[in-house]
Structure 1
Amino acid sequence: MIQRIQTIFLFLVVVCMGITIGTELWEQAVNGQSWKLSAFAVENLSADGEVVSSSSKWYIGALAAFVGLLALISIFQYKSRGRQMMLNMINSLLMVGLVASVFLTTNGLNSELGMEVAGSYKVGFWVILAAMVCNMLANRFIRKDEALVRSVDRIR
């Protein structure tokens, strides 16, 4: 049923991916210049805030959108808990890939620029980790429902 607690957690995954797409993921500021990573691009900003250069990182935004879409699809798979758990496990792997891609992108930028300081991860990055926790909790409650249904079937 759609009013279960796992629906709330899966909806929170969708919200977290929306936040990831809409906010900054990482920022680095050195010598008056700053680099900002969003879900779709890395921008080099001058001291007065003008964009000096920009590089597309579309794969981060596409992966975040796909994770959100998969969580939304999983919400409506409540009649087949096995399929719902499988979609959530795939979603977990995709979120690990999303975190890894952001981390590798920022480390690559730091090494390319020769920076000593790692920069700071922003809200957009941390909500990915919150989405991973919500996805894990949703899977836990789906398994709990499955166990309840199986125990009731045994009683009959």
Structure 2
Amino acid sequence: MIQRIQTVYLLLSGLCAVLSWKIPFGKVELLNQPVKVYVANDSFPLTLLMILAILLAIIAIFLFKKRRLQLRLSWLGFLVGAVTLFLEYSIVHGFQTQAAPVQRAYYWIGIALPVLMMLFFLLAALGIRRDEKLVRSLDRLR
């Protein structure tokens, strides 16, 4: 299970989802108020998406004997990362286009976590596909 590189990629994608609860993806400066930071657990849809990404990564790790299902879960995790990135972008962009009370809204380092999560799910899917091709070629030789 751990000998396969896609297991490491799936672990890293789950770690990115966990870190998004702590590392802010955006900061908003309101007039005469302290800076407000936004993390994934500030929004209910983002929290659900992060929980889903963590579960997909963990389940895919333990489905190492069912490579086709593992591949589908990896692609689904990639899509979850894309939706997460879109939601985080739209939250900060919504503050940027807002009028008077918002002095400044900007992205923070946590906006890269969904991109990394998508990258790791993609690398895991490519590794799983490579394993599937290898098993099929060995089955032809038998």
TM-score under structure 2 normalisation? 0.89
Conserved in 2, the CA contact under 8 Å of 1:21 and 1:65?
A: no
Shift of 1:111: 1.9
Aligned to 1:119, the other structure's residue is in SS state strand
Deviations 1:5-45 (A, max 9, x none): 1000000011111100122111133655423111122xxxx
User: Counting strand residues as a fraction of each chain, which structure ranks higher?
Assistant: 1
Matched, 1:59 2:49: no
Letter in 2 for 1:130: L
CA distance in 1, matches of 2:99, 2:74: 37
Partner of 1:145: 131
CA distance in 2, matches of 1:36, 1:121: 9
CA distance in 1, matches of 2:48, 2:111: 15
Structure 1: stretches of 5+ with no match in the other structure: 42-56
User: Counting helix residues as a fraction of each chain, which structure ranks higher?
Assistant: 2
Partner of 2:14: 14
CA distance in 1, matches of 2:29, 2:105: 10
Structure 1 pair 74–113 and aligned structure 2 pair: CA distance change class (3 A)? farther
Letter in 1 for 2:3: Q
Work out the percentage of aligned pairs sharing the same amino acid: 29
Over aligned residue pairs, what C-alpha RMSD do you find?
1.8
Partner of 1:40: 41
**Bigger shift: residues 11-20 or 113-122:** 113-122
Structure 2: stretches of 5+ with no match in the other structure: none
Query: 76, 85, 88: which is aligned to 1:99?
Result: 85
Conserved in 2, the CA contact under 8 Å of 1:2 and 1:78?
A: no
Partner of 1:119: 106
What is the count of residue pairs matched by the alignment?
Answer: 140
